[in-house]
Amino acid sequence: MQLQQHYNPEHHHVWKQLYARMQPRWERYANEAFLNGVSTLRFDPDRIPLLENVNRFLRPLTGFRAKAVGGYLPAFVFFDCLRNREFPTTITIRKATQLDYLPEPDIFHDIAGHVPMHTDPAFAETLVRFGQCAHTAIDRVASLRDEHERLARLSSMITAMARFFWFTVEFGLMRSNAGLKVYGSGLLSSYGEIEHSIESPDVQRSPLQLEWAIHQSFEIDHYQPLLFIVDSFDHLFSMVDRLDQWMREGKLDHVAPGEPKWKEEDLRGFLEAGALKLPERSPVLC
């Protein structure tokens, strides 16, 4: 299914405001790969970009493409899109009254926050590797006969994946010769929090430890008090490798309870989608 969005002048004005506010903060706080990505993708600061134009510059670099979605995607579908080098991209944009905070993704968060990172080969390969972990989770529980145990273990593994994604892809920091820089898209699309993440004394910044990240719950409605630091995208890739290996070894079968939480229908949908490989059969999903 090809989704289309018709943007009016008000929509473009919101994009223009968001972009103008973020540009100086990107220059100060964003990592080099992101800045290179913004330049490569040739965003128009005044108009919401068309995905086909974004993909024209993006795909030759890493094989990734932004793919329009109309709303929430089930967890497996989202993870498997990454495995297939597709990034589910929200096509709606926030209202002018929501410039500072929006609880769900919009096109500014997805295109201006996430997609520039997808131009970097090392980061792109990390996303693909992360997406493969969803298949590992399904393989891990496929032989279990007890339905309750199957769903419980799957819930634990998906929770570990979601927490890892949150503390890295969404809210990650990276060392550089110029000091700490931001690579997490939740920070790169937030005017207030990008500065807060680097400058505030109230933020605990720690080297990324897998065992800490996967057992740490999070809340989405305020600035994050805990952020993790990686040394490089190669370092991040190695951590995804370890996440997958721990999953195979059963170390993610019982992670600490807390957010995010999953409904039973979500878990059953994860199993069914994995068994059918729906993203490859049905383009409606991502």
Looking up residue 190, the CATH number of its domain turns out to be 1.10.800.10
> Is 48 a member of any domain?
yes
Per the model's pLDDT, the better-predicted residue between 93 and 220 turns out to be: 93
> In this structure, are residues 36 and 119 in contact, taking their beta carbons and an 8 Å threshold?
yes
Q: Which of 10-19, 133-142, 175-184, 236-245 has the lowest mean pLDDT?
A: 133-142
State which amino acid sits at residue 112: A
> Is 140 a member of any domain?
yes
Cis? peptide before 260, omega within 30° of 0: yes
> Is 4 a member of any domain?
no
Distance, CA of 160 to CA of 153 (rounded, Å):
11
On the CB side of 11, CA atoms within 13 Å amount to 13
Phi-psi region of 184 (alpha: psi -120 to 50; beta: other; left: phi over 0): beta
| Residue 3's pLDDT band (cuts 50, 70, 90) | low
> Is 3 a member of any domain?
no
Domain, as residue range, for 124:
9-281
> How many folded domains does the chain comprise?
1
pLDDT of 72 strictly over 90: no
**Model confidence pLDDT, tens digit, residues 167-205:** 999 999 999 999 999 999 999 999 999 999 999 999 999
Distances (CA, A) of 147 to 155, 157, 197, 253, 271: 12, 16, 42, 15, 11
Cα end-to-end distance, the chain, whole Å:
9
> Is 122 a member of any domain?
yes
Catalytic positions: 109, 114, 170, 189
> Is 1 a member of any domain?
no
Distance, CA of 212 to CA of 11 (rounded, Å):
40
Task: Tell me the whole-structure pTM to 2 decimals.
Answer: 0.91
